[in-house]
Structure 1
Amino acid sequence: MTAADLIHTYRTTGTLPHLPQGHFIDGALHPALDGAEMDSFDPGRAQVLGRFAAGSAADVDRALSAAERGFAVWRDTPPATRCRILIAVAMLIRAEADLLAVVESLDSGKTLAEAQGDIAGSARLFEYYAGAADKLDGRSPDLGGATVAFTSREPVGITAHIVPWNYPTSTLVRGIAPALAAGCSAVVKPAETTPFTALLLADLLVRAGVPAGVVNVVTGTGAEAGAALVRDPRVRHVTFTGSVDTGIDVMRAAAPNVTGLTLELGGKSPLVAFGDAKADQVAEGALWAIFSNSGQICSAGSRLILHRSLHDEVLSRLVERARGLRLGHGLGNPDMGAINSALHLSRVAAHVDAARDRGLDIVTGGHALQDPESGLGWFYAPTILDRVASDDPAVRQEIFGPVLTVQVFDEIDEAVALANGTDFALNAGIYTPDISTALQAARRIDAGQIAINDYWAGGIELPFGGNRKSGFGREKGLEGLEAYTRTKSIAFAV
Structure 2
Amino acid sequence: MEMFIDGAWRAATSGERLNVIAPATGQVIDTVPHGNASDADLAIRAAERAMAEWKRRPMADRVAIQKTCAQAMRDHAETVGNALHAELGRPLPACIAEITRSADLLDVYAEEGLRLSASMSLGAAPGERTVVTREPVGVVIAITPFNYPITLLMFKLGAALIAGCTVVAKPAEDTPISTLMLAEIFHSAGLPAGVFNVVTGKGREIGTAMIEHPIPRKIAFTGGTAAGKAIAAAATGTMKRVTLELGGQSAAIVCADADLDKATTAIARHGFANSGQFCYRVNRVFVERPVYEEVLRRLAEKAGKLTLQPVGGEGDLGPLVNEKIYSNSALQSDDAREKGARILLGGTRQTGPGFDDGFYFPPTLIADATQDMLIMREETFGPVLGIAPVDSAQEALDLANRSRYGLAGFVFCRDLAKGLTLCEGLEAGSVWLNDIHRSSHYVPFGGMKESGLGREKGRYGVESYLEYKTMYLSYEVPI
TM range (shorter): over 0.9
Which runs of structure 2 are paired with 1:356-395 in the superposition (5 Å)?
A: 356-370=337-351, 372-373=353-354, 375-395=356-376
Which runs of structure 2 are paired with 1:412-427 in the superposition (5 Å)?
A: 412-427=393-408
Local SS of the residue matching 1:310: helix
User: What's the counterpart of residue 13 of structure 1?
Assistant: none
Report the AA paired with residue 70 of structure 2.
Answer: A
User: What's the counterpart of residue 281 of structure 1?
Assistant: 262
The answer on 1:142 being equivalent to 2:110 is no
Shift of 1:438: 1.5
Local SS of the residue matching 1:460: coil
User: What's the counterpart of residue 38 of structure 2?
Assistant: 58
Match of 1:177 among 151, 158, 161: 158
Query: Is 1:111–1:331's contact at 8 Å kept on the other side of the alignment?
Result: no
Query: Is 1:235–1:259's contact at 8 Å kept on the other side of the alignment?
Result: yes
Shift of 1:139: 1.1
Distance 1:332 1:265 in 2: 33
Query: Is 2:245–2:451's contact at 8 Å kept on the other side of the alignment?
Result: yes
User: What's the counterpart of residue 224 of structure 1?
Assistant: 205
User: What's the counterpart of residue 41 of structure 1?
Assistant: 21
Which runs of structure 2 are paired with 1:70-469 in the superposition (5 Å)?
A: 70-146=50-126, 147-329=128-310, 332-370=313-351, 372-373=353-354, 375-469=356-450
Cα separation, partners in 2 of 1:195 and 1:370, compared to 1, 3 Å: farther
Report the AA paired with residue 329 of structure 2.
Answer: V
Shift of 1:321: 2.0
Local SS of the residue matching 2:121: coil
Distance 1:95 1:436 in 2: 46
Cα separation, partners in 2 of 1:62 and 1:205, compared to 1, 3 Å: same
Query: Is 1:237–1:483's contact at 8 Å kept on the other side of the alignment?
Result: no
Distance 2:384 2:4 in 1: 37
Per-residue CA distance 1:286-328 (angstroms, 9 max, x = gap): 1012100001110010111111112111111111222221101
Shift of 1:65: 0.9
Per-residue CA distance 1:332-387 (angstroms, 9 max, x = gap): 55211110112221232122222222332222111111475464322101111112
Local SS of the residue matching 1:116: helix
Report the AA paired with residue 42 of structure 2.
Answer: R
* Identity across the alignment (%): 35
Report the AA paired with residue 121 of structure 2.
Answer: P
Per-residue CA distance 1:59-115 (angstroms, 9 max, x = gap): 001101111111111111111000000010011111001011111111112122221
Local SS of the residue matching 2:282: coil
Per-residue CA distance 1:35-67 (angstroms, 9 max, x = gap): 110111111122111111111011001101111
Cα separation, partners in 2 of 1:288 and 1:331, compared to 1, 3 Å: farther
Local SS of the residue matching 1:235: coil
Shift of 1:329: 4.3
Shift of 1:331: 7.4
Query: Is 1:273–1:430's contact at 8 Å kept on the other side of the alignment?
Result: yes
Distance 2:332 2:288 in 1: 26
Report the AA paired with residue 244 of structure 1.
Answer: T
Per-residue CA distance 1:431-485 (angstroms, 9 max, x = gap): 1222211210111111000111112254111110000010110011210012210
Distance 2:102 2:14 in 1: 33
Query: Is 1:41–1:107's contact at 8 Å kept on the other side of the alignment?
Result: yes
The answer on 1:482 being equivalent to 2:463 is yes
Cα separation, partners in 2 of 1:286 and 1:112, compared to 1, 3 Å: same
The farther-off stretch of 158-167 and 387-396 is 387-396
Distance 1:118 1:453 in 2: 25
Query: Is 2:25–2:311's contact at 8 Å kept on the other side of the alignment?
Result: no
TM-score by length of 2: 0.96
Distance 1:385 1:462 in 2: 33
Report the AA paired with residue 459 of structure 1.
Answer: S
Local SS of the residue matching 1:62: helix
User: What's the counterpart of residue 4 of structure 2?
Assistant: 24
Instruction: Structure 2: state its 5+ residue gaps.
Output: none
Distance 1:165 1:28 in 2: 24
The farther-off stretch of 330-339 and 362-371 is 330-339
CA RMSD of aligned residues (A): 1.5
Report the AA paired with residue 88 of structure 1.
Answer: T
Query: Is 2:328–2:382's contact at 8 Å kept on the other side of the alignment?
Result: no
Distance 2:372 2:245 in 1: 24
Query: Is 1:451–1:458's contact at 8 Å kept on the other side of the alignment?
Result: no
Distance 1:70 1:371 in 2: 52
Distance 1:77 1:478 in 2: 20
Local SS of the residue matching 1:379: coil
Cα separation, partners in 2 of 1:256 and 1:268, compared to 1, 3 Å: same
Query: Is 1:330–1:337's contact at 8 Å kept on the other side of the alignment?
Result: no
The farther-off stretch of 26-35 and 114-123 is 114-123
TM-score by length of 1: 0.93
Distance 1:164 1:333 in 2: 26
Report the AA paired with residue 94 of structure 2.
Answer: E
Q: How many residues align?
A: 474
Cα separation, partners in 2 of 1:332 and 1:120, compared to 1, 3 Å: farther
Cα separation, partners in 2 of 1:33 and 1:400, compared to 1, 3 Å: same
Report the AA paired with residue 193 of structure 1.
Answer: D
Shift of 1:142: 2.9
Distance 1:244 1:420 in 2: 17
Local SS of the residue matching 2:120: coil
Query: Is 1:106–1:330's contact at 8 Å kept on the other side of the alignment?
Result: no
The farther-off stretch of 322-331 and 271-280 is 322-331
Shift of 1:258: 0.4
Distance 2:393 2:338 in 1: 32
Distance 1:267 1:428 in 2: 10
